[in-house]
Structures are given as structure tokens and as C-alpha cells.
Amino acid sequence: MTTIDTERAVTFERQEGHPRNPGMPLDLDWLHQVHINRSAVERRAATLPARRTVKKEWQAAWLLRAITCIDLTTLAGDDTPGNVKRLCAKARQPVRHELLEAIGAGSLPLTVGAVCVYHNLVPIAIESLRGSGVPVAAVSTGFPAGQNPFEMKLGEIEASVRAGAQEIDIVISRAHVLTGNWQSLYDEVKAFRAASGEAHMKTILATHELATLRNVAQASLVCMMAGADFIKTSTGKEAVNAILPVGLVMVRAIRDYAERTGYKIGFKPAGGIRTAKESLDWLMLMKEELGNAWVHNSLFRIGASGLLADIERQLSHYATGHYAAAHHNPMA
């Protein structure tokens, strides 16, 4: 077994080297020019898992990078302070130290990208992560359905920011997209951004509920115009969550926005990403479509709850030649 050459592989320090998106006026002409060739998108998405693979120490290095991009998430009805504390402990030390030592990565400052919880558990998460540098993200604005009154949505954001959340994951009103009411969507997201203040705002589109890929592309652009720091595929509660064709449409909207405005917007696929192989597919999508700047947790996150356990299992196989028993990989 070859240890990871950290000079050749990846670096793990947090990067904040790009200016925050200030937004721009709503440009309806730009939206009307958006057209999506669904067949071409699906063909391109289908090639990604097949034509790009990484093996051995390079695969281990990419899996470590994937860990740094995980928003480690618990959004269940039976969440308790104890569950959140345990999740935060895993966020601080996502891979067993002896396993990191075995693959030559013991000195890497490895943590996840963030911990994502409901608002009422934000204080527990903040206290559990104190001194780690791992930010706390709170879901807001009537997550997951987004059907709360507008003033209540703003109040949720403001309360989470006061509680110390450094990132806010908001959900859009899908009806604005389905009815083509782009001005209302723009105004809503712009107000959410203002309420978020210094906290970075991830805008959840709930893409499975938007009917068409063109709607996904247009909604992505409107949210970026309104000042979103990230655009995110799903709440994790839809029938279909993060899938590569939808991701491809969204990252190309990010590329178009960056080319036109000069501002880099982050991307977060969420929901249904459970295997190490799937995390690599998403990293490859970012690298091929957007470039190296987006293969970092400042511009790329994976919303997941069970993914970390499978990544740790694959790293164990790399280190020892066999897969660890399930009880060796604690809750992720």
C-alpha cells in the first residue's frame, strides 16, 4: 500500500479567496434566452462516471477532499441534543486517527465542511464545534416545503443568525418558478439574503418539484442574481434529490454567471448521495465543468448524512486491503 503524497494530492486549508456575490438587477432577457437540450444533458451526465476514474492513492486523496466538502447533516424528526453532539464529534474527527496515520495523512487538518441542523439545535452544534473552525448551517424559511408566511421565513433566518449560524440554507417558493413569476422569486431571495447578513446563504431549489430542466436553469440564475452564495439541488426530502443531469444544468448556470459577472457561486448537491463513488462523480463534475477553484469547500459542498461512513470504509480498504466491519465506522 502506497501512502498518500500530500504534496501531489490535495490541500485542506479553508480558502476564502473569492469576493462574495453582491447580486445584480433581475435580467429577464437573459432568462428568456435560456434553452436546455435534455437529451444532450443526459448524455453528458451519463459519461461522467464512465470516463473519469481515480485509483489507489489518488482515489484516497480525492476521498479525503470529498470529506472536507461534506455538510454533515441531521434533519430528522427525532433529532436530539445527544445526536447532534455525536455528529459534531464526527465532524471534528471524520476519520479515525489510526486510519489516517496508516495512509500517510495523519498530519492533515481534516474536518468536514459544515454541520447542518434545524434551528433549535444550532446552539448545541455551535458549542460542540467551538474551536474546530467548522461552521454551523441552519435550514430555514419553512424547510422543506417553503410554505410558511413570508414574514415568518424572514424571522427564522434572523433567529438562526442571532443564534450563531454562519450559513443559512433557505428554500425557495416553488410556485414562483412553476408560474414563471421571476420577479417574485428574485424579491424573495434578495430579502432572504439581506436577512442572512454576514451568514452565507445557500438557496435550495428542490429541483424535482420544478418540472423542467429549463425551470431549473432559470431559477438558478434568478437566485444568483438575487445574491445567493450557493445554489443547492434539494432538501433531501423530495422523491428524487441530487442527480447528475440536474447538477450539470446548475453548474453550467454557475459558469455562465461567473463569465458574465466575474463572481463565483458555490454549488451543493444534497440528498441521496450515499457512496464514496458518487461523491467522486460529483467532484469530477465540478472539476470538468467549472475548474479547480470549485473543487474546494469554499465553493462546493455535499449535503449528506450517511456518505461519510462509506468513505471511511473505502479508506480502510485502501489502508488494509479489506473492508472494515460496520461497527468500526461510527455514525456519520
Residue 332 lies in a domain: no
The three-state (H, E, C) secondary structure of the chain, written as one string: CCCCCCCCCCCCCCCCCCCCCCCCCCCHHHHHCCCCCHHHHHHHHHHHHHHCCCCHHHHHHHHHHHHHCEEEECCCCCCCHHHHHHHHHHHHCCCCHHHHHHCCCCCCCCCCCEEEECHHHHHHHHHHHCCCCCCEEEECCCCCCCCCCHHHHHHHHHHHHHHCCCEEEEECCHHHHHCCCHHHHHHHHHHHHHHHCCCEEEEECCHHHCCCHHHHHHHHHHHHHCCCCEEECCCCCCCCCCCHHHHHHHHHHHHHHHHHHCCCCEEECECCCCCHHHHHHHHHHHHHHCCHHHCCCCCECEEECCHHHHHHHHHHHHHHCCCCCHHHCCCC
**CATH number of the domain bearing residue 226:** 3.20.20.70
Judged against a pLDDT cut of 50, whether residue 249 lies above it is answered with: yes
- Quick one: average pLDDT of 9-22? 64
Q: Express each pLDDT in 90-105 by its tens digit.
A: 999 999 999 999 999 9
Residue 244 lies in a domain: yes
Contact 138, 116 (CB under 8 A): yes
Percent of the chain with pLDDT over 90: 85
Cell of 45: 451526465
* Cα gap 276→268, rounded to integer Å: 16
Residue 10 lies in a domain: no
Rounded to whole angstroms, what are the CA distances from 44 to 49, 244, 247, 278, 300? 10, 9, 11, 16, 20
As a whole number of angstroms, the longest Cα–Cα distance in the chain is: 57
pLDDT band at 54 (very low <50, low <70, confident <90, very high): confident
Contact 145, 204 (CB under 8 A): no
Contact 168, 140 (CB under 8 A): yes
Residue 316 lies in a domain: yes
What is the average pLDDT score of the chain?
92
Q: Express each pLDDT in 264-299 by its tens digit.
A: 999 999 999 999 999 999 999 999 999 999 999 999
Residue 117 lies in a domain: yes
Count of CB atoms within 10 A of residue 42's CB? 14
Q: Which residues of 223-245 are buried (b: 16+ CB within 10 A; e: fewer)?
A: bbbbbbbbbbbbbbebeebbbbb
Q: How many domains does the chain have?
A: 1
- Quick one: average pLDDT of 20-36? 98
Q: Sheet of 167-171: strands edge to edge?
A: 266-268, 230-232, 200-204, 167-171, 136-139, 114-117, 70-73, 302-304
Percent of the chain with pLDDT over 70: 92
Q: Express each pLDDT in 108-151 by its tens digit.
A: 899 999 999 999 999 999 999 999 999 999 999 999 999 999 99
Q: Express each pLDDT in 213-236 by its tens digit.
A: 999 999 999 999 999 999 999 999
Residue 17 lies in a domain: no
φ and ψ at residue 110, rounded to 5 degrees: -90, 120
In degrees, rounded to 5, the angle at the alpha carbon of residue 316 between the alpha carbons of residues 53 and 80 is 105
* Cα gap 271→257, rounded to integer Å: 25
| pLDDT score recorded for residue 48 | 87
**Structural domain of residue 39, as residue ranges?**
28-321
Judged against a pLDDT cut of 80, whether residue 10 lies above it is answered with: no
Contact 21, 265 (CB under 8 A): yes
Give the residue numbers annotated as catalytic, written as ranges: 169, 232, 268
| pLDDT score recorded for residue 93 | 95
| pLDDT score recorded for residue 52 | 67
pLDDT band at 4 (very low <50, low <70, confident <90, very high): low
Residue 9 lies in a domain: no
| pLDDT score recorded for residue 220 | 98
Strand partners, 256: none
Q: Express each pLDDT in 310-331 by its tens digit.
A: 999 999 989 888 887 766 666 5
Residue 8 lies in a domain: no
